[in-house]
A and B are shown apart, each in its own frame.
Chain A
Amino acid sequence: DAKTTQPTSMDCAEGRAANLPCNHSTISGNEYVYWYRQIHSQGPQYIIHGLKNNETNEMASLIITEDRKSSTLILPHATLRDTAVYYCIVWGYQKVTFGTGTKLQVIP
């Protein structure tokens, strides 16, 4: 399975864009990149996913590099409620495997 690496933690000022990077250099051609987040004491919440094109939804944007070896999740206007652990995962044929995630702290 492709592995992902993310920074352990990041801070972001409220109202500013939060850019969360993820490396997945061993991703194979037909594996998708998914992002989930987990707010304290809750189950993980789906955010967005993509294959090779950039994607945008009401929550976030996902930028995937042309070689697909890395991606960036963008929260355009971070709020205090966005404080959570963000997981970048690669969905392979058989299972979804999570890394340790990035703890995003949004600061007032």
Chain B
Amino acid sequence: GAGVSQSPSNKVTEKGKDVELRCDPISGHTALYWYRQRLGQGLEFLIYFQGNSAPDKSGLPSDRFSAERTGESVSTLTIQRTQQEDSAVYLCASSLGTDLILNTEAFFGQGTRLTVV
């Protein structure tokens, strides 16, 4: 597709269950970012990938959160043993790279709305 695609668009899960959120970046984009946005709050950085490696995982809220990327393409954000405070919109973005020389913008998906009940 032409843009960043995220699935599912909505997910309702029971507390304690594991969830996987998927992001398909724009083809050729080497950088991929995950953000979380709680209701009424700003965007909270979680993790980014340069290629398949994640140089900065400092934003992951706890060890229940993990992410991987394969083939410099699709990325999966996994939340284990979900808690109610994990309820949020999870946004994925991609860009050509993080190198400032490229001076490029990041394109965002529409997000996955996660509700933990």
Contact = CB atoms under 8 A, between A and B. Distances in A.
Interface of A: 30-32, 34, 36, 38, 42-46, 49, 51, 85, 87, 91, 93-101
Contacts, number: 57
Given A42-B110, A91-B100, A93-B98, A98 B42 contact: yes
Nearest to B45: A97
A87 B43 contact: yes
B57 to A, nearest CB: 11
B55 A96 contact: no
Interface in B1-59: 4, 33, 35, 41-45, 48, 55-56
Contacts of A85: 42
6 contacts: A46-B107, A94-B55, A95-B45, A98-B43, A98-B45, A99-B42
A31 B103 CA distance: 10
A94 to B, nearest CB: 6
Contacts of B93: 43-44, 96
- For A43, A85, A93, A100, which residue has the most chain B Cβ atoms within 10 angstroms? A43
A96 B91 contact: no
B106 A46 contact: yes
A49 B100 CA distance: 12
A96 B33 contact: yes
3 pairs of A and B residues whose beta carbons are closest in the complex: A43-B108, A100-B42, A98-B43
B32 to A, nearest CB: 11
A100 B109 contact: no
Nearest to B98: A94
Given A87-B43, A96-B48, A97-B45, 11 more contacts: A32-B103, A42-B110, A43-B91, A43-B108, A43-B109, A43-B111, A44-B108, A49-B105, A91-B100, A96-B45, A98-B44
